[in-house]
A and B are shown apart, each in its own frame.
Chain A
Amino acid sequence: MYKLLLCWRYLRTRYIALASIISVTLGVATMIVVNSVMEGFTSEMQNRIHGIVSDLVFEARSLDGMPNFAWHAEQIRKVAGDDIEGMTATVVVPAMLNFQYNGNWITRQVQLIGIDEKTQSSVSDFSRYLQHPGNREVMSFELREDGYDTRDHQAGPDARERKQMAEAGWKRRRQSARLQAFQRDYFKSEKPAAPLPGESPSSPSPSDDPFAGRLPAGAQPEGNQFDPEKQQHTGVVPGIAMTSFRTPEGEDKFLAIPGDDVKLTFPTAGQPPKATSDDFTIVDFYESKMSEYDASFVFAPIRKLQELRGMIDPSTGIGLINAIQIKLKPGADGEAVRDKLRAAFAPELYGIYTWRDKQGALLAAVQMETAILNVLLFLIIAVAGFGILAIFYMIVVEKTRDIGILKSLGAPGRGVMGIFLAYGLSLGLVGSGVGMAIGLLFVRYINEIADGLAWITGRPVFDPSIYYFYKIPAVVVPQTLAWIVIGALSIAVAASILPARRAARLHPVEALRYE
């Protein structure tokens, strides 16, 4: 009882000791903030990676692919059928995407992925990231009339409006087709290439339309039956960053929107690969907010790709594929299934990966970063521990006579030690408790704080054009919180052990004589 009472009194009368635990407080607060933000980033990123990569990917090592999806699917089901919920075939091929903006051809290096729109959504969250509400429900490579999101449906009310998306769809297509037809007529009647009157900046970017560029190239002769006003090319879904960029204010500017046409160039199957090109029409955008994906993936119908690349066996009509995306049943262990499949299929021909393996380097880097930050921050708390040690030593010296008194009253050495250990523990509790409160408040208002800092310093702390988030993601994991607090407490207690032992070993007579 006396231990608690004295510990409480010391806590309330010795403010210098409270000062010594400010570093514990700051350390705990920083650790909570850092861990929460890192955890937020990691989980956001994992969601995004997982949004496009299914649980397991079964890849052919050759770019030419493997034949017969049905046969492979059956074999895979034989090996690990119990854990598999769905499968879909994909063709993956490196490609170049060209589109025209303001008379200039813009080229992007992309990963062209042929997907089966009916089964793709069953293996990943792919359709959730599309910009048309209808496509999010039922994915289709047909251009929609209009109704594309003008506001990022994943970002909440803070996202800037994407005004350009209001025009997307058939509306846009008809408009540009008419403009293009007008231009063609204009060129016909007036042969000299005068500056186009329609090219003034105020006009709704008439030369966005790649058809304008196709005339000089002469790729499409006059007599083509294709009517761009009523027909579309094969639909493609590029990543949203492919044809847009984000201003530092967080506004998205689009160079091409659904309804516009693009050209894709990619190698054919067979030896040697030859480049082949075709026209496609953007029918939607894919926005995973994983900038790496949004700037490099283009989705197209698998059948069309197989045709263009010559991957279809003319006799059977069965196409070659590059990869099989596998969705596992909830609760299934991806690594175990992967290992099972790896054992069953020849590793020279097939690469089998979990979605984590696919982005292993990135996730590992983030994890490593978190670990190193934690070690460094924990060292700060450890430094605070030495502060506590020094102050405790002083307090023990100051309290020497009191310790003698307690011993003369029959308090055992362990009891005296207990006073100082309890004191250390309660200082740790106060320090980490306050630190936890500060940390949690910081995490709760992290975006407001970032805004405030941006306002003070005049430069954005969190630049949405760099990160594909509008807000800083932060996730508080209770387990991490508990570990941090336990760590801080044990450092505080550990730092008080030495002074407490000294107190316990003080000789009562010498302690009583101490002035």
Chain B
Amino acid sequence: MSNNVEETLQGNLGCFAAADHRRPTLCVGARAVPAAACSGSVAAVPAAAKRHHLPSIVGQVDHRDQLAAVDLYKSYRKGPVEVPVLRGVTMEVRRGEFLAIVGQSGSGKSTLLHLLGTLDAPDQGEIHYAGRRIDNLPARGRDTLRNRQFGMIFQFYHLLPELSTLENVLAPLMIRHGVWSYLRRRREHRARAEELLETMGLSHRLKHKPRELSGGEMQRAAIARALVAQPDLLLADEPTGNLDQATGQEIIRILRTLNRQQNLTIVMVTHDRAIADQADRIVRLTEGRIES
């Protein structure tokens, strides 16, 4: 099963990459970090990156980075007590990179991912995306960014229970387009969503509601949803956290394939070392700081 999915992925995602006019131009020369080289020296790369960025002043970011966090602070208020979660996190994500953020629960890795995905605003620090600061964008701009540039998948899949699998996958497109422009191009959108679901091995589940799917199927549907808007960046929050090992491996394989075939930048948060090891690079987060 998992192999099948991977094979169809390799076949079909290649088509998307070719059909997509945006991505090839972005990706030319962006494949700076060869996957094989990276996975061999997981620890060395962050260290090098860190060194490279240490002298950089806040606000000046290397434009080769697709996403960068500079000196992020974030704390949550629990009643009268202020609980610091992030205490000066600086990190960057290269174009086409498969990055894993690992850390114990409570280390702030999910919060970091939310900040990177503009779902939350940092108390202090900056986030840059493709050379532009995004954490201070107006709500409208952040919504557009999440809708068009970022794809997100979550531990609990977060599919809308009222909608069928197909409608869930179409949701980002419905959000992007108004009623008329959506209806005018609905065949096109639908074809794309169906194709994506087929590559995820879910073509027999189009009309099913999420509660009728298994965990792995839901996560694959969520991946299809994240990809339907052709994002530049995929943010994955514990994508395997709720799945058994085999299914989790399958999800990771899909992500891995997406990363290779489409040169899709992926940032994945996990607490599972075995999962994290399959990424190009690992960033370790301890008590709100990047462990060097």
Contacts and interface: CB of A to CB of B under 8 A. Distances in A.
Interface of A: 1-2, 4-6, 9-10, 13, 401-402, 404-413, 415, 507-509, 512
Contact of B139 (A406, A409, A413): A413
16 contacts: A1-B177, A6-B163, A13-B162, A401-B158, A402-B160, A404-B158, A405-B159, A408-B146, A408-B154, A409-B147, A409-B152, A410-B145, A415-B175, A508-B120, A509-B119, A512-B154
Contacts of A1: 174-175, 177-179, 182-183
B140 interface: yes
Given A1-B177, A1-B183, A412-B140, 10 more contacts: A2-B175, A9-B163, A402-B160, A405-B158, A406-B175, A408-B158, A409-B172, A410-B145, A508-B119, A512-B154
A243 B158 CA distance: 83
Interface in B89-142: 114, 117, 119-120, 139-140
B154 to A, nearest CB: 7
Nearest to A10: B162
A410 B160 contact: no
B147 A410 contact: yes
Contact of A410 (B120, B148, B159): B148
A404 B143 CA distance: 12
A2 B154 CA distance: 21
Given A2-B171, A5-B167, A509-B114, A410 B146 contact: yes
Interface in B138-197: 139-140, 143-148, 152, 154, 158-163, 167, 171-172, 174-179, 182-183
Interface residues of B, number: 32
Given A1-B183, A2-B171, A512-B154, A405 B177 contact: no
A509 B120 contact: yes
Interface core residue of A6, A10, A405 (most chain B CB under 10 Å): A405
Contacts of A413: 139
Contacts of B145: 410
Contacts, number: 74
A406 B225 CA distance: 12
Contacts of B119: 407-408, 508-509, 512
Contacts of A408: 117, 119, 146, 152, 154, 158
A95 B159 CA distance: 87
B110 to A, nearest CB: 9
Given A409-B175, A411-B143, A5 B148 contact: no
Given A401-B158, A509-B114, A410 B178 contact: no
A9 B145 CA distance: 27
Contacts of B144: 410
A508 B235 CA distance: 15
A507 B111 CA distance: 13
A508 B154 CA distance: 13
Contacts of A410: 143-148, 172, 175-176
A114 B184 CA distance: 78
Contact of A412 (B120, B143, B161): B143
A1 B160 CA distance: 15
Contacts of A404: 158
Contacts of B167: 5
Given A410-B143, A410-B145, A4 B179 contact: yes
A10 B178 CA distance: 20
B131 to A, nearest CB: 21
Contacts of A402: 160-162
B182 A512 contact: no
Nearest to A12: B162
Contacts of A507: 120
B159 to A, nearest CB: 8
Nearest to A6: B162
